[in-house]
Amino acid sequence: MKDLIIRPERCLGCRSCEIACAVAHSKSKSLFSALGEQPAPKKRIYVDCSPNLEISIPITCRHCEDAPCVSVCPTKALSQDEVTSIVSHNPDRCVDCWTCSMVCPRFLPLYRLIRVIGCWTSSMAYNRGVISRQTDAGVKCDLCQGRDIPACVEACPTHALVFYELEEIPGTKLPETTSELTG
Amino acid sequence: MEQKENEKSMDSDSETMLKKVYEKSIDPASQTILLKAKQEGVETAWDRYEKQLPQCSFGQLGVCCRNCNMGPCRIDPFGEGAEKGICGATADIIVARNLLRTIAAGAAAHSDHARDAVLAFKKMSEGAAGSYAIKDEAKLLSLASEYGIPTEGKNREKVASELADALLLEFGKQTGSLLCTMRAPEPRLKLWTELGIVPRGIDREIVECMHRTHMGVDNNATHILLQGLRTGLSDGWGGSMIATDVQDILFGTPQPRMSTVNLGVLSRDKVNVIVHGHEPILSEMIVEAAEDSELLKLAQEKGAAGINVAGICCTGNETLMRHGTPIAGTFLQQELAVITGAVEAMVVDVQCVMPSLGELSGCYHTKFISTSPKADFPNTVRMEFHEEKAYETAKEIIRVAVENFPFRNPEKVNIPREKQECMVGFSAEAILNALGGSPDPLIEAIKSGAVWGVGAVVGCNNVKIKHNYGHVNLVKELIKNNVLVVTTGCNAIACAEAGLLVPEASELAGEGLKAVCKALGIPPVLHMGSCVDISRILVLSSVLANRLGMDISDLPVAGAAPEWMSEKAVSIGAYVVSSGVFTVLGTVPPVLGSQAVTALLTRDLNNVVGASFAVEPDPFKAAALMLEHIDGKRKSLGLNSDR
């Protein structure tokens, strides 16, 4: 299956993905016409910055059915609504173990980057921040149904967002087991 | 079987290629060369446009500010993110400031061009630029009297010298207002005075724009935009008008003449020299040097049948208007000209010259020669041009071109067939002459409805609109509805390529306009010159308004820039609307990020200067907007307004 892969090392923080996302989820689908729409179109992707890593990261959650992040969460900080499949994050239960990011194809490259840099303190705060924001807004990334390529991917001038079969990108194949990752 | 399949797939490949090419331009000559570009794997502006897609939304909306280094800041147009920049600037302020800087850049380009023309004029008058002379003495004297310079008992060089000094003063003027504004109809000048937008020194308005948009200066969108109007006026009724006047004195005021346009004007057996850019100061000399017997002899020795000069963009329009030098193409045809493989030298001065020409010329034998002390490019042969040695430099340039002729590779040459006749040279003076010396016949024709109104259609090419599609269809639609069209710049070249600049094109006009054109022997679309020559349109509309004792905004006149792209076009838009002419833009300016600025430009300006902007990329709908506007003006004048 194709998914949207985030390559944080390429993100320049221009926020083009955010606007493209909002326009793709507007009534008119056109930037100039979407401006006046009520209610204003909502974006499903957020560019956050990680001061510790000194990078910006576009973050977006698909709230997949049977979300793997939810099933691997050892403290049940992540939970999923059975009806809407919206994933929620409870910061009080989160111990910042990062297991969720290891199983999410979108965040795997970020996880690997962080592992390379050796900075463990930044991360999940942003990841889960976005998840909660999307939860509040009641919107989730739908991979732009009806389009060949998600609007954010198309809009990204540096290809920090790509849309590929997971196997096509080196380093994005999900590990079979957790030990494979940590080992 | 396999072979058949291969052929089949090749067919469908070339079919897609053809289809893609047809989508880019309506002009068959350009299509031919675009196909050649594809086959040769050479990149053009259209390819680079595709690589830029989708373009940055913040940029398109004008809500990105880089004016100080706390930023860059940008405003979230959908209200979820930042609503203000770090300094507190809202989208309204940021959009207005960006627009003002754009106008300043456009006005600077036109006005700095004018300065160079005046400086050349000054050097000529002092005998320091022997290649130049006074070609239109009547215009010299009339301008001298306008500037209050006594002429009695002085030789013409002395008059020219004093006039040049007076003109130069307009640039650095610290008190009073620009003299050319006196040419505007009285009610218009009165309105500008009341609004406080009569332009002062030409340079001053541009400097003030930069000051106002510096961090923490002018932060009221309306207040900022009024300075935009004033700066635009300093271009239209200042820099551009002075450029036109001085160039007419130096090189002659254009008179109707015939010429040819499009890539087909390139010669198979002669040395092809293209002059591209905006100033006539150099191209006039190139045209002259191409007739130099010594160089013609050299050309013959090199196996060429002669030397063929052709223009692109406005430097081309300048020599076209005054000498009938053919034009090879519009802005978007500059690369295509090189790709024909038949251009020995692409000689450029300033403005609208793509830096891509450097690398592109390297794919062919073309020498890319840059001449302006202000404008260098990658991979050029630098041949800096100074007025003192104008003709010598021009000769050297032609010599380089001629010596390059043997390196033309016949296998790489493809010159399209398309070569279209056109009638050009309609300066305001020439139009009044054609009317028998007075604007009355035109006024009568407008009153009777034979000529429904006048459309001023100008501007560039823009890859966002199919090449020449906007220009040609808008103009055709106007003349079909009996609107006489005056044109400059790349619109004029586009119309010429489409065959609209010949008297026979009146067949495409409505009955009324057709009869008028036939009686006068003129085309329904009048080529008034380069983009600085839009000042000629201002002068002509003032003549009409003055004759009727009204303001320009009362006339059944509308403007359009169907394929505009440059900052100069924004400055032009500012002065055309400030002069009272409703103007339709074919591409969206980066202002939609501010509702306040958008409303001001498209609606509220009507209550301020009696005209406003509209944006309409579809040329047919744009023509409908212009016609509707003209209908309204006719109605207010008590004329028949029922088409």
In A24-125, the DSSP E strands lie at: 45-50, 55-60, 78-80, 87-89
Q: Taking CB atoms and an 8 Å limit, are A31 and B57 in contact across chains?
A: yes
Looking at the fold, whether B150 and B235 belong to one and the same domain comes out as yes
Degrees, nearest 5: CA angle B623-B450-B454: 40
Distance CA B464, CA B461 (A): 9
B467 interfaces chain A, CB cutoff of 8 Å: no
A31 interfaces chain B, CB cutoff of 8 Å: yes
Distance from CA of B77 to the nearest CA of A (A): 7
Looking at the fold, whether B221 and B116 belong to one and the same domain comes out as yes
Residue B4: what pLDDT? 53
Q: How confident is the model at residue A183 (pLDDT cuts 50, 70, 90)?
A: very low
Least confident of A83-97, B233-247, B433-447: A83-97
Distance CA B535, CA B528 (A): 10
**Average pLDDT value for residue range B625-633:** 98
In this structure, the strands spanning B483-488 and B525-529 are parallel
- Which amino acid type is present at position B393? T
Q: Do residues B231 and B240 lie in contact, with contact meaning Cβ atoms separated by under 8 Å?
A: no
Supply the DSSP string of B245-266, one letter for each residue: HHHHHHH-----EEEEESGGGS
**Average pLDDT value for residue range B70-80:** 92
Is the per-residue pLDDT at B173 higher than 90? yes
Residue B630: what pLDDT? 98
Residue B121: what pLDDT? 97
Q: Do residues B180 and B242 lie in contact, with contact meaning Cβ atoms separated by under 8 Å?
A: yes
Distance from CA of A122 to the nearest CA of B (A): 22
Q: What would the two tokens of residue B15 be?
A: 């079919």
Residue A169: what pLDDT? 56
Distance CA B472, CA B495 (A): 6
- Which amino acid type is present at position B126? E
Q: Taking CB atoms and an 8 Å limit, are B77 and A155 in contact across chains?
A: no
Give contacts of A20 with chain B, Cβ < 8 Å: 54, 57
B392: in domain: yes
**Average pLDDT value for residue range B145-162:** 96
Residue A51: what pLDDT? 65
Q: How big is chain A by its Cα radius of gyration, in Å?
A: 16
B384: in domain: yes
Degrees, nearest 5: CA angle B409-B410-B416: 120
Q: Do residues B314 and B489 lie in contact, with contact meaning Cβ atoms separated by under 8 Å?
A: yes
A20 interfaces chain B, CB cutoff of 8 Å: yes
Q: How confident is the model at residue B1 (pLDDT cuts 50, 70, 90)?
A: very low
Q: Do residues B309 and B275 lie in contact, with contact meaning Cβ atoms separated by under 8 Å?
A: yes
Residue A6: what pLDDT? 82
Distance CA A103, CA A127 (A): 13
**Average pLDDT value for residue range B418-445:** 96
Q: Taking CB atoms and an 8 Å limit, are A40 and B80 in contact across chains?
A: yes
Residue B490: what pLDDT? 98
Average pLDDT, chain B: 96
A29 interfaces chain B, CB cutoff of 8 Å: no
Least confident of B18-27, B138-147, B403-412, B472-481: B18-27
Which residue, among B250, B284, B236, B232, has the nearest Cα to B164 in the 3D structure? B250
Give contacts of A23 with chain B, Cβ < 8 Å: 57
Residue B203: what pLDDT? 98
Give contacts of A32 with chain B, Cβ < 8 Å: 60, 588, 592
B230: in domain: yes
Distance from CA of B42 to the nearest CA of A (A): 23
Residue A130: what pLDDT? 56
- Determine what percent of chain A is predicted with pLDDT higher than 70: 70
B221-234 helix and B186-195 helix, angle to the nearest 10 degrees: 140
Q: Do residues A23 and A31 lie in contact, with contact meaning Cβ atoms separated by under 8 Å?
A: yes
Looking at the fold, whether B96 and B231 belong to one and the same domain comes out as yes
Give contacts of A19 with chain B, Cβ < 8 Å: 57-58, 76-78
A40 interfaces chain B, CB cutoff of 8 Å: yes
Residue A93: what pLDDT? 82
Q: Which residues pair with residue B327 across a beta bridge?
A: B261, B311
Q: How confident is the model at residue A172 (pLDDT cuts 50, 70, 90)?
A: low
Q: How many CB atoms lie within 10 A of CB A182?
A: 11
Q: Which residues pair with residue A3 across a beta bridge?
A: A164
Is the per-residue pLDDT at A98 higher than 80? no
Degrees, nearest 5: CA angle B594-B597-B600: 145
Residue A122: what pLDDT? 39
Distance from CA of B23 to the nearest CA of A (A): 21
Count of CA atoms in the C-beta half-sphere (13 A) of A9: 10
Q: How confident is the model at residue B54 (pLDDT cuts 50, 70, 90)?
A: confident
- What would the pLDDT profile of A33-77 be if each residue is shown by its tens digit? 999 899 899 888 888 776 666 778 788 877 778 888 888 888 888
Is the per-residue pLDDT at A24 higher than 90? yes
Distance from CA of B269 to the nearest CA of A (A): 46
Residue A123: what pLDDT? 44
Q: For residue A22, what is the nearest residue in chain B, using CA coordinates?
A: B78
**Average pLDDT value for residue range B46-62:** 93
**Average pLDDT value for residue range A106-116:** 67
Q: Which residues pair with residue B257 across a beta bridge?
A: B424
How remote is the C-alpha of B399 from its chain's centroid?
A: 30
Q: For residue A39, what is the nearest residue in chain B, using CA coordinates?
A: B78
How remote is the C-alpha of B415 from its chain's centroid?
A: 26
Q: Do residues B201 and B242 lie in contact, with contact meaning Cβ atoms separated by under 8 Å?
A: no
Looking at the fold, whether B382 and B429 belong to one and the same domain comes out as no
**Average pLDDT value for residue range B456-475:** 98
Average pLDDT, chain A: 76
Q: Taking CB atoms and an 8 Å limit, are A154 and B54 in contact across chains?
A: yes
Q: Do residues A161 and A7 lie in contact, with contact meaning Cβ atoms separated by under 8 Å?
A: yes
Give contacts of A22 with chain B, Cβ < 8 Å: 78, 80
Q: Taking CB atoms and an 8 Å limit, are B54 and A155 in contact across chains?
A: yes
A56 interfaces chain B, CB cutoff of 8 Å: no
In this structure, the strands spanning B613-615 and B582-585 are parallel
- Which amino acid type is present at position B207? V
B57 interfaces chain A, CB cutoff of 8 Å: yes
Distance from CA of B556 to the nearest CA of A (A): 31
User: Between residues B277 and B10, which one has the greater pLDDT?
Assistant: B277
Distance from CA of B95 to the nearest CA of A (A): 15
In CATH, what number is assigned to the domain containing residue B341? Answer: 3.40.50.2030
Looking at the fold, whether B473 and B514 belong to one and the same domain comes out as yes
Distance from CA of A85 to the nearest CA of B (A): 24
Residue A181: what pLDDT? 44
In A51-152, the DSSP E strands lie at: 55-60, 78-80, 87-89
Distance CA B330, CA B347 (A): 15
Residue A121: what pLDDT? 42
Question: What would you measure as the largest C-alpha separation in chain B, in angstroms?
Answer: 91
Q: Do residues B73 and B64 lie in contact, with contact meaning Cβ atoms separated by under 8 Å?
A: yes
Is the per-residue pLDDT at B422 higher than 90? yes
Q: How confident is the model at residue A140 (pLDDT cuts 50, 70, 90)?
A: confident
Is the per-residue pLDDT at B11 higher than 70? no
Looking at the fold, whether B446 and B398 belong to one and the same domain comes out as no
Least confident of A156-165, B234-243, B439-448: A156-165
Looking at the fold, whether B508 and B595 belong to one and the same domain comes out as yes
Looking at the fold, whether B341 and B454 belong to one and the same domain comes out as no
Residue B605 phi/psi, 5° resolution?
-60, -25
Q: Taking CB atoms and an 8 Å limit, are B56 and A31 in contact across chains?
A: no
Q: Which residues pair with residue B527 across a beta bridge?
A: B487
Residue A182: what pLDDT? 45
Q: Which among B61, B74, B78 is the nearest to A43, CB-wise?
A: B78
Looking at the fold, whether B332 and B449 belong to one and the same domain comes out as no
Residue B212 phi/psi, 5° resolution?
-60, -30
B113: in domain: yes
**Average pLDDT value for residue range B480-489:** 98
B466 Cβ neighbours under 8 A, 6+ residues apart:
B23, B24, B25, B26
Most B-contacting residue of A12, A15, A144 (CB-CB within 10 A), to test interface: A15
Looking at the fold, whether B486 and B611 belong to one and the same domain comes out as yes
User: Between residues A10 and B456, which one has the greater pLDDT?
Assistant: B456
B58: in domain: no
Q: Do residues B431 and B544 lie in contact, with contact meaning Cβ atoms separated by under 8 Å?
A: no
Looking at the fold, whether B284 and B360 belong to one and the same domain comes out as yes
Q: What would the two tokens of residue B488 be?
A: 């400059």
How remote is the C-alpha of B547 from its chain's centroid?
A: 28
Residue B136: what pLDDT? 97
Q: Do residues B643 and B631 lie in contact, with contact meaning Cβ atoms separated by under 8 Å?
A: yes
Answer left, alpha or beta for residue B413, where phi above 0 means left and psi between -120 and 50 means alpha.
beta
- What would the pLDDT profile of B324-336 be if each residue is shown by its tens digit? 999 999 999 999 9
Q: How many CB atoms lie within 10 A of CB A179?
A: 8
Q: Do residues B414 and B36 lie in contact, with contact meaning Cβ atoms separated by under 8 Å?
A: yes
Q: What would the two tokens of residue B528 be?
A: 């008034």
The domain boundary, picked from B412, B433, B456, lies at: B412
Distance CA B49, CA A117 (A): 37
B472 Cβ neighbours under 8 A, 6+ residues apart:
B26, B494, B495, B498, B500, B619
Looking at the fold, whether B288 and B397 belong to one and the same domain comes out as yes
Distance from CA of B114 to the nearest CA of A (A): 37
Which residue, among B116, B104, B241, has the nearest Cα to B168 in the 3D structure? B116
B437 interfaces chain A, CB cutoff of 8 Å: no
Q: Range of B201's domain? A: 91-251
Q: Do residues B289 and B398 lie in contact, with contact meaning Cβ atoms separated by under 8 Å?
A: yes
The domain boundary, picked from B224, B251, B278, lies at: B251
3-state SS track over B440-506: HHHHHHHHHCCCCEEEEECCCCCCCCCECHHHHHHHHHHHHCCEEEEEEHHHHHHHHHCCCCCHHHH
Q: How confident is the model at residue A145 (pLDDT cuts 50, 70, 90)?
A: confident
A12 interfaces chain B, CB cutoff of 8 Å: no
Q: Taking CB atoms and an 8 Å limit, are A19 and B74 in contact across chains?
A: no
Q: Which among B54, B80, B595 is the nearest to A43, CB-wise?
A: B80
User: Between residues B249 and A120, which one has the greater pLDDT?
Assistant: B249
Distance from CA of B96 to the nearest CA of A (A): 17
Residue B50: what pLDDT? 92
Q: For residue B589, what is the nearest residue in chain A, using CA coordinates?
A: A32
Is the per-residue pLDDT at B639 higher than 80? yes
Distance CA A93, CA B258 (A): 84
Supply the DSSP string of B7-67, one letter for each residue: HHHHHHHHHHHHHHHHHHBS-HHHHHHHHHHHHHT---HHHHHHHHPSPPHHHHHT-EE-S
Task: Taking the CA atoms of A145, A149, A154 and A156 in sequence, report the sign of the dihedral they define.
Answer: positive
In CATH, what number is assigned to the domain containing residue B152? Answer: 1.20.1270.30
Which residue, among B424, B461, B426, B458, has the nearest Cα to B442 in the 3D structure? B426
Is the per-residue pLDDT at B169 higher than 80? yes
**Average pLDDT value for residue range B61-73:** 96
Least confident of A123-127, B226-230, B398-402, B559-563: A123-127
- What would the pLDDT profile of B202-238 be if each residue is shown by its tens digit? 999 999 999 999 999 999 999 999 999 999 999 999 9
The domain boundary, picked from B223, B251, B279, lies at: B251
Q: Which among B61, B74, B588 is the nearest to A15, CB-wise?
A: B74
Residue B443: what pLDDT? 97
A/B interface, count of CB pairs below 8 Å: 48
B625: in domain: yes
Which residue, among B259, B210, B253, has the nearest Cα to B231 in the 3D structure? B210
Q: Which among A16, A42, A43 is the nearest to B56, CB-wise?
A: A16
B71: in domain: no
**Domain total for chain B?**
3
B449: in domain: yes
Q: Taking CB atoms and an 8 Å limit, are A42 and B80 in contact across chains?
A: yes
